[in-house]
Structure 1
Amino acid sequence: MTSADWIFHGGAIHTMAGTTAEAVAVRDGVIVATGDVRALQGPGTEVVNLDGGALLPGFQDAHVHPVPAGLQLTGCDLAEVHSLGEYRALIAAHRTDGEWVLGSGWYGDVFPGGFPDRHELDRLVPDRPAAFMSHDAHGVWANSAALARAGIDRHTPDPHAGVIHRDADGEPTGMLGDAAGDLVMRLVPEPGRAAREQALRTAQAHLHGAGVTGWQDAAIGAVLGGPDPYDIYRSAEDAGWLTAKVTGALWWDRDAGLEQIERHLARRAETAGGRFRTTAIKIMQDGVCENLTAAVLSPYTNVPHTHGLSFLEPSALAEIVKRLGAERFDLHLHAVGDRAVRECLDALEGSDRAWDHRHQLAHLDLIHPVDVPRLAAMRVIANIQPLWARHDPVLVETKLPYLTRKQRENHFAFGSLAAAGAALAMGSDWPVSSPDPLWGIHTAVNRTAPAADPHAQDVRAQTEPLLASERLVVEAALAAYTIGAARACRRDDTTGSIEVGKAADLVVLDADPMAVPASALSAIRVRSTFADGIPVHTLT
């Protein structure tokens, strides 16, 4: 009998397949045995003693943007701090020879009134156009030079699916919501190929360090003025350095017509069967609550007659969904507000669902109770971002003030969705928020923030659960970040659980998440990560 390349033992092994195992054996990148594997140990076998830790299938991120995240890590990154003073220091210290000064990662709650102002950025960058993307990619903070370069003034109308914020005199403030940000970002020179390749390398290493072995890139296309990552993924796979398994969600351009389906079909055919596959389509149906662009059923409180924006008319969305479903594309629908959720479900209800689709609604910040059971009935996956479900300053200061009491009661309804039988998949939306799955699992289970999260260091975020009744149990949260996410990525046939014949995509943790107190989940560290049986990260 041929010996194994790797044997794992000496700790908890959570297969996420409804079974337990005392040990796991791997050969040629595939799981070949579980249970008593001693007969497979040979002279060349690497034996990993879990030393009381745990082995799980590699985490998968069902909604992430690695290339923008990698660019952010290598640029003027504001995401690791959380104060206006720190933003000022980072921007002032940033050095670039380019025509533009660019950055990303700001949070609105650090600014008076919840939104940045061009005058602040003018003081920091007086001589060149400057534009900084918000952490959630739904806002652009521009200085006066950038507004002038884009031709934005008091007479510029709001674009479709976007908002130009204005002061009491009608002048643009420098805060551009959703599609309004495109007016500036489309003028920014695209990063060169070398920079984009380095961004993906950096992001992949970062994700492997968090135990992530696969993901769904939720925007394959030219989005918000950013570069299309399609060719970078293709070349990474061809060159052999793409070690993750990636499902790409092709971007639906709402300004183009149904003729773009042919381009998407061609891309899907080009990537069939590889590490990088493009089997899904991403459609944005609304924005976010913080800038009043999420589509809601009841008007935002204190903002009369404001119901947010449906980026596609429901009838148009229904026709797009029908056509894409007929081509057997999995649909990845951005729906933050409860009206957007309903519009997406209505559209899916009118499409052909008599096949093994992996349709999913992403984010679901708000969902009306009558729509909760519809996801399970229609086999629609709830693609949730668990790290957002806590009383952090962003939520408390820039979102909750706009929500009615009823809307607040239907906020990140993870427990209700699980109880209704809806399939759950978890993702980070990185660089919107941290890609650490254990931080996300911690928040899903506790509904409070991880102790080390720089964006939630206040007492309320750390101790007061956000709708404690919507907690998930640890097992459900782990499943959503492994087999649930694998299913959303259409990779559950070969990944997502520890079973014989599946790829040896594995993560070794220094503690057992099923055994530690719930409050300690975010303190668990990733010791090592394996992709197809090859170590891609080791804790140093």
Structure 2
Amino acid sequence: MPDNTETAGESVAYINALVYTVDTSKPWVSAFIVSHDGFFTHVGSTEAVLSEAKQFHMVVVDLKGHFTMPGIHDAHMHLLYSGLALTSNAAIDMDATHLDIAEKVKHGSCTCEYMNAYQDWVLASAYNNQGFPDGVADRKYLDKLFPDQPVVVSGGAAHAMLLNTAALIQAGYDIENEPDTHGGKFFRRPDGSLTGELAESAMAKAALSIPAPNRAHVKRALKHAIRLAHKAGVTSTQEASSNTIMLQVLNEMEREGSLQLDISTHIVHENEWLASESKESLQKLLEVADQHASKHIDTRFVKIMMDGVPLPPLFTHASLNDQEEIDHSMIVPENVADAVLKYDKKGLTVKIHCTGTGATRHALNAIEAARKSNPGGPRHEIAHNSGVHDDDFKRYAPLNVTAEMSPAELFLHPVTAASEGLMNWNFAKMIDAGAHITIGSDWGAVPDPSLFQHMANIVEIVRKGDKAAGGQVLCRMMTLNGAIAVNREKELGSIEVGKKANFIVMSKDLSKGEFDGAKVLRTYFEGEKVWDANE
């Protein structure tokens, strides 16, 4: 029942729905009431809700039997990267060959919605090495059409980029004699000169040299990204590569009342190419992170890049050798254990990117050391978990580590199948080990960050053939488990009295595992409709 009878009439009653609350004490209801300030005040039957609505003369919305559930928590998104890429970058078909990639960049640079966001530089996404002869990308293909203008094309799941000669020169690379760097990979021609393809920390000079878009355009890009997130049913997320300009603009949006998404901002630890920001600046940001916190911005999070990706031709992941020793040549940051302990003592949750078995074990070791030194520290996360040794699954639950499974697109995919076991998201073993599991899209530039079609690929795997049970498990992973991971389960993640009215209306019953072809009909954030498929 509404707490304040004076404002009860301003509430809205939603009736005749198939509501999966994700609340184990009351998993199924048919109606609820949302207060004028965006909270669930009554969750129950249509009859009871209609009685309240009649008494207080509420507006009533008939959901006409549609499946309704809490809003999605995407545990791994790159909102700014995606927003900029989709509004400002030239688009390249991943199947483009070396013969037409430069033409596509040229065409895209003239037709992207917002030209010149990076001043004279052209950014594009994304190339595929298989489109080049012998799988070798080279700047010469870009140089033909762009002899003087700097061009940067992302690739390798954003862990690599291809630069033309002009971009290499402006970024300060020594094309003939650039030295190797720890955690980085420079691709070279037979004579030792750079091909223009760079991976991991080798991209740092380029990332710091690309002109940053102005704040007005950053806001435009973020609003576009959030709009697409709403379309995918996302009402809360973990931004996995937060930097200074993003937090400044999010704060500006918060002040003007236009931020309609709960965002846990993982501020990047040291990694310059991921944040497009210097180590020194990132450290200063982490020191004052709490000054950027607000109603919808939670800054108690840090992102550490442990290794790279198990994708050809990069193979920058950190594995275990035959003696089960960690390959430290691919471990990017130094003194990881010290960094985790430092943040742990500050009460900050650390999300550690790990794609290889060695990286995952190294991260678990660092978290275990922090637990011994500071037993009451916060829950930490390992991102991706595509490479976990059989002996390490059992360590997640005792260490209170969230297994953030992403990118969802690759759970079952031809690229995954071709990885010869290097990429394996083993949901069954993680569930059997009792790990806390969340789902992330790892959204970066594709037009649709929706998780549903990818869940269709694994729904029978998570409960070993039981599609309906798998549907409910995945619904929880995408909602309440995410809220628990960011320590906001008292506010978000389920449809319960007192929680924020973040919910979605779907075209199919996800609780039965009907993810294939499922569409979001409407998304509500704090009681306000922020997406309607019919509008």
- Residue of structure 1 aligned with 2:379, choices 312, 335, 358: 358
Partner of residue 30, structure 1:
39
What is the Cα deviation at residue 89 of structure 1? 4.9
Normalised by the size of structure 1, how large is the TM-score? 0.85
CA–CA distance in 2 between the matches of 1:56 and 1:77?
37
| Cα pair 1:389 1:443 within 8 Å, conserved | no
Structure 2 residue corresponding to 1:164, chosen from 186, 190, 209: 186
d(CA) in 2 for partners of 1:510, 1:33 = 24
Residue equivalent to 2:124: 103
Unmatched runs of 5 consecutive residues or more in structure 2: 273-277
Question: Whole-Å Cα distance in 1 between the matches of residues 513 and 471 of structure 2?
Answer: 10
Matched, 1:139 2:160: yes
Q: Which residue of structure 2 aligns with residue 219 of structure 1? A: 241
Aligned partner of 1:48 in structure 2 is 61
Aligned to 2:391: 370
1:308-340 deviation digits (Å, cap 9, x = unpaired) = 510124xx1111111111111111111111101
1:82: Cα distance to partner? Answer: 3.9
- Aligned equivalents of 2:338, 2:306: Cα separation in 1: 14
Residue 212 of structure 2: aligned partner: 190
2:481 to 477, 481, 484: 484
Match of 1:120 among 123, 126, 141: 141
* Counterpart Cα distance in 2 of 1:234 and 1:25: 30
Which residue number in structure 2 is paired with residue 462 of structure 1? none
* Counterparts in 2 of 1:494 and 1:111: CA distance versus 1, 3 Å: farther
Matches within 5 A, 1:200-219: 200-219=222-241
1:509 maps to a residue whose letter is M
Return 363-372 or 346-355, whichever deviates more: 346-355
Alignment of 1:52-451 (within 5 A): 52-78=65-91, 82-84=95-97, 87-93=101-107, 94-95=109-110, 96=115, 98-134=119-155, 136-149=157-170, 150-221=172-243, 228-253=245-270, 263-268=285-290, 270-290=291-311, 291-298=314-321, 309-313=330-334, 316-352=335-371, 354-355=375-376, 357-396=378-417, 400=419, 403=420, 407-408=421-422, 411-431=424-444, 434-445=448-459
Change (3 A) 1:105 1:478: farther
- Superimposed CA distance per residue, residues 476-501 of structure 1 (whole angstroms, 9 cap, x where no aligned partner): 22111111112223322201111100
The 8 Å contact of residues 247 and 276 in structure 1, kept in 2 or not, is answered as yes
Separation in 2 of the partners of 1:441 and 1:289?
Answer: 22
Cα distance in 2 for partners of 1:242, 1:9 equals 28
Match of 1:534 among 514, 525, 528: 528
Residue 427 of structure 1, CA deviation: 1.2
Q: Taking CA–CA contacts closer than 8 Å with sequence separation of 6 or more, which of the two structures ends up with the larger relative contact order?
A: 1
Does the C-alpha gap of structure 1 residues 306 and 495 become closer, same or farther in structure 2, counting only changes over 3 Å? closer
Contact 1:104 1:135 in 2 (8 A): no
Q: What is the rounded CA distance, in whole Å, between the counterparts of 1:167 and 1:205 in structure 2?
A: 43
Distance 1:306 1:113 in 2: 28
Tell me the percent identity. Answer: 27
Report the alpha carbon displacement of residue 432 of structure 1 after superposing the two structures with TM: 6.0
Shift of residue 531 of structure 1? Answer: 0.7
The Cα shift of 1:263 comes to 4.5
3-state SS, counterpart of residue 42 of structure 2: strand
Determine the C-alpha separation between the residues in 1 that align with 2:17 and 2:386: 37
Give the Cα–Cα distance (whole angstroms) in 1 for the partners of residues 506 and 384 of structure 2: 27
Equivalent pair of 2:459/2:513 in contact (CA under 8 Å): no
Q: Deviations over 1:220-245 (max 9, x none)?
A: 226xxxxx311011111111100111
CA shift at 1:12, angstroms? 2.0
Does 200-209 or 270-279 show the bigger shift?
270-279
Q: Distance in 1 between matches of 2:90 and 2:405?
A: 25
- Between the aligned partners of 2:256 and 2:85, the Cα distance in structure 1 is 24
Task: Classify 1:515/1:77 alpha carbon distance in 2 versus 1 (closer, same or farther; 3 Å).
Answer: farther
Letter in structure 2 aligned against 1:23: A
Task: Name the CA distance, whole Å, in 1 between partners of 2:402 and 2:347.
Answer: 16
- Mapped to 2, the partners of 1:273 and 1:219 lie a distance apart of 18
Alpha-carbon displacement from aligned partner over 1:54-101 (angstroms, at most 9, x marks no partner): 111110111111111110111234377543377555312122554222
Q: What CA distance in whole angstroms lies between the structure 2 residues aligned with 1:189 and 1:15?
A: 46
Alpha carbons of structure 1 residues 261 and 354: separation in structure 2 relative to 1, 3 Å: farther
Q: How many residues align?
A: 498
Paired letter, 1:277? D
Residue pair 1:14, 1:55 contacting (<8 A) in 2 also: yes
Q: Which residue of 1 aligns with 2:275?
A: none
Q: Quick one: distance in 2 between partners of 1:413 and 1:77? A: 35
Q: 1:262 to 1:182 in 2, by over 3 A?
A: closer
| RMSD of Structure 2 on Structure 1 (CA) | 2.9
- Supply the distance in 1 between the matched residues of 2:165 and 2:406 (Cα, whole angstroms): 34
- 1:9 equivalent in structure 2: 15
SS at match of 2:74: strand
C-alpha distance in 1 between matches for 2:356 and 2:252: 37
1:504 has 2:501 as partner: yes
Cα deviation for residue 388 of structure 1 reads 3.7
- Secondary structure of the 1:366 match is coil
Give the CA deviation at 1:287. Answer: 0.9
Q: 1:292-319 CA deviation, whole Å, 9 max, x = no partner?
A: 21111138xxxxx987510124xx1111
- TM-score, normalised via structure 2 length: 0.85
What's the offset of the Cα at 1:22? 1.8
Contact 2:23/2:494 (CA < 8 Å) preserved in 1? yes
**Secondary structure at the residue paired with 1:52?**
coil
Contact map agreement 2:161 2:199 (CA 8 A) in 1: yes
How far apart, in 2, do the equivalents of 1:113 and 1:246 lie?
42
- Structure 1: 5+ residue stretches without partners: 223-227, 300-304, 448-464
Contact map agreement 2:153 2:163 (CA 8 A) in 1 = yes
- Matches of 1:101 and 1:259, distance apart in 2: 25
Relative to structure 1, the CA distance from residue 476 to residue 170 in structure 2 (aligned partners, 3 Å threshold; closer, same or farther) is same
